[in-house]
Amino acid sequence: MEFITANFAPIMFAGLICFLLLGFPVAFSLGACGLTFGLIGVELGVFQSSVMAWLPQRLIGIMANDTLLAVPFFTLMGLILERSGMAEDLLDTVGQVFGPMRGGLALAVVFVGALLAATTGVVAASVISMGLISLPIMLRYGYDRRFSSGVIAASGTLAQIIPPSLVLIIMADQLGKSVGDMYKGAFVPAFMLVGCYVLYVAFLAIFRPASVPALPAEARIYREPDGSGGYRSLLVLMVISFVVSVLVARHLTDVHSWWSGQTVTSVATDEKVVVAMCGGTFVALVIALLNKYLRLGLLSRLAERVTFVLIPPLLLIFLVLGTIFLGIATPTEGGAMGAIGALIMGWARGRLDMTLLKQALAATTKLGSFVMFILIGATIFSLVFQAADGPIWVEHLLASLPGGQVGFLVAVNLLIFFLAFFLDYFELSFIVVPLLAPVADKLGIDLIWFGVLLAMNMQTSFMHPPFGFALFFLRSVAPDKPYVDRVTRTVMQPVTTMQIYKGAIPFVLIQLVMVATLITFPNLVTGSLDKVQSYDLKSIGDQMRESLQPEGGGASPDAGYGSGEEPYGGTPAPGGDSGPAAPTSPEAAPAAPDADAPASTPDDPVKAMEEALKRAQPSN
């Protein structure tokens, strides 16, 4: 029994692993393990029975968690957009833009994957939509089967790291950080990952052009009467939009000063980016509308099509992420506005009906219930695990790793990478992250950096052969038997499961390179966060002393503390308000300060405040 009580936390953790390996659902494994070991712990005297009395309050606290309300809102938004045909329109339009160049269809898949991630945030919807639409076209025009499968699966998983990602919401909740800060921290790494995918496509286009051929001329449907593709007017429209964005960013401080009636010297970078992009997009939309309804003939068919297809999702991105970054809305409010915006977009496309709405609401309810069940189970487990001093065991286990912060991060990311073969990101977020966060905080690791790093790593859980969910989603829609192409009328060979697995490997390696990059350069995450306000404590203390100094050059305010009216029960010195009287006997004299005592004592309120401010300063 002594062995069990001394090693209760590791035995409990091993018990959870056994439950999971037996194939029990994760939510019930967590809850059952927590309750079972809770009763055993009370019986063995590992902790008091009052620990279990805290459980109802913990569960009620889950339902009062405002952050988690964002999960069903963003899920509903994504499902409505996916079912309203936005993915089809985006893939068709962007494919026509990039199609004439080698690797153009793959580039279209990457960019559409990023746009879908920033609007839908649902991996399954993105992978299935692009698999149904893009994969047959890529196979029709001679794309390598392994590469086609890999780029579709990888682009679909961008929804895990590009805001408004659900995993970032869960990560912020588990780490006790702001969802807005987590989104800001993930912004640069997410688009660096998109850039890495683009570079990989460009590499294949240069060194293996046969695997990524250009779209043939007969497949390009947007042509002008003179036979041109209409790229010139599209380029001019993009340049005008870019120039307007730059001008808005440059003069935003002047606009703020004029609007507020006060001199504004600087504006936050994220606000500049959001407002500038919104301004450029608005100008492009106005030009396209004037050209269409006044029949000006300034824009080509391709330019008009690109404008009217891309701008609605861009406006939705601003409605959600822009309002969050500008501080206008919380993530929960942003998700609610996004869901309303998705309903409006579906109605405007003429595809919103009761069938679509019922399907979206049912899927949202299922996902929301799944998250809540896992969270309830994780809460039961963590309550008992903490009562058994489990965090101390984990801290001793990980804090002693060689290499300090870097050694800890490398070990943790290796652990997450291998656990992701068997657990999805929800399970990792609710089981593993709460155990690792206190150790990371004690080592001085910024928790936003830590959360984005783990989210980038968890993205690989969708791409791991043989259990990656994105690979399963793609397998469900990829042709598994020979079929006749509806355009070329030729017999096409199926896509094998092994080809899907092999195609995912290069993109998993790219994601791991990004994880290593974030470990090496944490500024990629923390550089976009709001800077912590620092204070000159000495100046604050001097200013407070000056403000307390009596007019006419009287005694220092410090002299009245510890010698006049004693705040700790001492006898008031004679002299009324004229200041403290000098001691008349050795007994009345203040004692000499102890050499080991701190320099600042509670007798000096200014110094005491300085000490309190120093203790409140963040360590990292």
For 291-335, write each residue's pLDDT tens digit. Answer: 988 888 888 888 888 888 888 888 888 888 888 877 788 888 888
List helix spans (H) across 99-178: 104-119, 123-140, 145-156, 166-175
Residues, the chain: 620
Confidence at residue 539, expressed as pLDDT on a 0 to 100 scale: 65
Most confident of 168-172, 196-200, 327-331, 574-578: 196-200
600 pLDDT exceeds 50?
no
Average pLDDT over residues 214-229: 76
615 pLDDT exceeds 70?
no
Burial 269-279 (b: 16+ CB within 10 A, else e): ebbbbbbbbbb
590 pLDDT exceeds 50?
no
Average pLDDT over residues 486-497: 83
Whole-number average pLDDT of the chain: 80
Domain ranges in the chain?
Answer: 536-548+597-620
- Supply the DSSP string of 361-388, one letter for each residue: HHHHHHHHHHHHHHHHHHHHHHHHHHHT
SS3 of the chain: helix, strand, coil, percent, to 5: 70, 0, 30
Distance CA 231, CA 303 (A): 7
For residue 517, give the DSSP letter: H
Task: Give the pLDDT band of residue 583 (cuts 50, 70, 90).
Answer: very low
> Is this structure's pTM higher than 0.85?
no
Confidence at residue 376, expressed as pLDDT on a 0 to 100 scale: 87
Instruction: Determine the distance from the C-alpha atom of residue 192 to the mean position of all C-alpha atoms in its chain, rounded to a whole number.
Output: 14
């701190």: which residue's tokens? 598
The lowest-confidence range among 74-88, 392-406, 530-544, 561-575 is 561-575
Task: Give the pLDDT band of residue 243 (cuts 50, 70, 90).
Answer: very high
Report the share of the chain in percent with pLDDT over 90.
12
- CA atoms lying within 13 Å on the CB side of residue 326: 18
Bridge partners (DSSP) listed for residue 492: 483
Sign of CA dihedral 149, 150, 152, 156: positive
Confidence at residue 99, expressed as pLDDT on a 0 to 100 scale: 80
Cα 424-428-434 angle, rounded to 5 deg: 165
Q: Which of 336, 326, 284 is nearest to 73 (CA)?
A: 336
Average pLDDT over residues 381-409: 82
565 pLDDT exceeds 50?
no
Task: Give the pLDDT band of residue 548 (cuts 50, 70, 90).
Answer: low
Distance CA 116, CA 236 (A): 26
Average pLDDT over residues 579-604: 45
- 460, 114 contact by CB (below 8 A): no
193 pLDDT exceeds 90?
yes
Confidence at residue 577, expressed as pLDDT on a 0 to 100 scale: 44
- 129, 193 contact by CB (below 8 A): no
Report the share of the chain in percent with pLDDT over 70.
85
Burial 399-411 (b: 16+ CB within 10 A, else e): eebeeebeebbee
The lowest-confidence range among 120-134, 140-154, 487-501 is 120-134
Average pLDDT over residues 521-541: 68
- CA atoms lying within 13 Å on the CB side of residue 335: 24
Task: Give the pLDDT band of residue 240 (cuts 50, 70, 90).
Answer: very high
pLDDT digits (tens, 9 = 90+) for 435-448: 888 888 888 899 99
211 pLDDT exceeds 80?
yes
191 pLDDT exceeds 50?
yes
Tokens of 394: 């984990």
pLDDT digits (tens, 9 = 90+) for 105-142: 999 999 988 888 887 777 877 888 888 888 888 888 88
pLDDT digits (tens, 9 = 90+) for 33-68: 988 988 888 888 888 888 888 888 888 877 777 777
594 pLDDT exceeds 50?
no
Confidence at residue 515, expressed as pLDDT on a 0 to 100 scale: 92
- 470, 121 contact by CB (below 8 A): no
Distance CA 66, CA 68 (A): 6
Distance CA 612, CA 407 (A): 33
**Cβ neighbours around 477 below 10 Å, total:** 18
Confidence at residue 164, expressed as pLDDT on a 0 to 100 scale: 81
Confidence at residue 559, expressed as pLDDT on a 0 to 100 scale: 45
Distance CA 446, CA 175 (A): 11
400 pLDDT exceeds 50?
yes
